[in-house]
């Protein structure tokens, strides 16, 4: 007998929890932008993952340790998705506005689809290709709306760094898909986070020694927010929601995240949003919709959808 459909009241609480998660994720880039006003990028990234690492270590106590060769592969994933991805994002956010960084980060599904085709050999249809082209056109408009576009190279380089970060994290998800199928998300992300955190400590100490910057209490709260809520709790809630909500509902919620990020950036950081920014953002979201709405299934051999960047994650 087929399962009885869930009644709306039973879906209400999961939807509210999912909406709360989108708010937590959407606020992550504006929060990073605020913290970077007084903290150097490498140190901020290291502190974030030092906050998350003990939580992952406790989770890993209840999971079997993978063989050494797979641990080495997870260490490589940590370098790609965290050491490279998150550090590039921090440096990029320093050199561009939080609103632009939020929209550029929203191109992650587009990169995931492209890497899935190139690395896993999955088919990309004309609708996907059209979506990528539309999203890239939107990225161009968003970059052109930078307050100092055409007069300062810093903003352009900041946009490129954020895009590189997004691509790096997307590659992390695609390359990790086979391991996630075998060992589970907690094991793969936990070990990759721990290895990446170790790699972040030496350059962060060097950077802190040069700048003599120590986190203030507001920045400490932001670090805890990024480490515990955005990274650890965000990942756990997202995976739980994928189990109890229809995939189409969970996936559609991802489009709320950048909207929250853009709105909060404009409100908290007083960043003006021009017409070109609005048009570019609309094209980015339309392109992402064309790319992923038919269903993003890129885990090799099982058709399993990959989790979002629990800012991001990881």
Q: Are 87 and 42 in contact (CB under 8 A)?
A: yes
**Helix ranges restricted to H, the chain:** 8-26, 28-35, 41-60, 68-78, 85-94, 98-105, 108-120, 126-144, 153-183, 185-211, 217-224, 234-244, 247-253, 256-269, 275-292
Q: Are 135 and 278 in contact (CB under 8 A)?
A: no
**Which residue(s) pair with 310 in the sheet?**
312
Percent of the chain at pLDDT > 70 equals 76
Q: Are 80 and 175 in contact (CB under 8 A)?
A: yes
164: Cβ–Cβ under 8 A, 6 or more apart, which residues? 88, 92
Residue with tokens 């490129």: 160
Average pLDDT across the chain, whole number: 77
Which whole number is the average pLDDT over 218-222? 93
**Strand, coil or helix: what is 314?**
coil
CA angle 263, 153, 212 (to 5 degrees): 80
d(CA 273, CA 145): 8
- CA 43 to centroid of chain Cα atoms: 19
Per-residue pLDDT tens for 4-53?
444 455 777 888 888 888 889 888 878 888 898 888 888 888 999 999 99
- How many CB atoms are located within 10 Å of the residue 302 CB? 11
Q: Are 257 and 78 in contact (CB under 8 A)?
A: no
The pLDDT of residue 226 is: 94
Q: Are 273 and 97 in contact (CB under 8 A)?
A: no
d(CA 170, CA 26): 18
Question: 23 is written with which tokens?
Answer: 């708010």
Query: Domain coordinates of the chain in residue numbers?
Result: 13-292
Is this prediction's pTM over 0.75?
no
Per-residue pLDDT tens for 107-126?
777 787 778 778 877 776 77
Per-residue pLDDT tens for 235-268?
778 767 766 776 556 655 666 676 677 777 777 7
Which of 47, 50, 51 is closest to 36 using CA atoms? Answer: 47
d(CA 142, CA 122): 30
Per-residue pLDDT tens for 71-85?
999 999 999 988 998
For 202, counting Cβ atoms within 10 Å of its Cβ (0-12 exposed, 13-18 middle, 19+ buried), the class is exposed
- How many CB atoms are located within 10 Å of the residue 86 CB? 30
């Amino acid at each position: 007998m087929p399962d009885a459909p869930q009644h709306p009241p039973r879906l209400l609480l999961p939807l509210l929890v999912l909406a709360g998660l989108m708010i937590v994720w959407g606020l992550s880039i504006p929060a990073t932008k605020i913290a970077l006003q007084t903290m150097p990028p490498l140190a901020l990234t290291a502190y974030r993952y030092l906050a998350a690492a003990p939580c992952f270590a406790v989770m890993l106590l209840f999971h079997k340790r993978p063989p050494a060769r797979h641990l080495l592969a997870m260490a490589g994933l940590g370098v790609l998705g965290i050491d490279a991805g998150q550090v590039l994002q921090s440096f990029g956010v320093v050199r561009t506005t939080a609103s632009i960084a939020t929209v550029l980060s929203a191109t992650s599904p587009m990169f995931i689809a492209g890497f899935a085709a190139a690395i896993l050999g999955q088919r990309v249809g004309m609708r996907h290709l059209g979506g990528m082209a539309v999203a890239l056109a939107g990225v161009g408009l968003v970059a052109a709306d930078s307050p100092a576009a055409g007069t300062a190279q810093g903003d352009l380089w900041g946009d490129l760094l954020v895009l590189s970060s997004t691509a790096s994290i997307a590659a992390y998800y695609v390359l990790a898909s086979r391991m996630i199928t075998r060992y589970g998300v907690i094991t793969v992300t936990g070990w990759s986070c721990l290895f990446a955190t170790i790699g972040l400590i030496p350059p962060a100490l060097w950077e802190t020694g040069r700048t003599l910057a120590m986190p203030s209490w507001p920045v400490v709260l932001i670090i805890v927010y990024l480490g515990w809520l955005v990274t650890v709790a965000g990942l756990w809630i997202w995976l739980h929601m994928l189990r109890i909500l229809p995939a189409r509902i969970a996936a559609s919620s991802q489009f709320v995240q950048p909207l929250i990020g853009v709105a909060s950036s404009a409100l908290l950081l007083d960043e003006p949003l021009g017409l070109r920014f609005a048009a570019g953002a609309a094209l980015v979201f339309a392109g992402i919709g064309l790319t992923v709405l038919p269903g993003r299934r890129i885990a090799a051999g099982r058709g399993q959808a990959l989790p979002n960047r629990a800012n991001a994650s990881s």
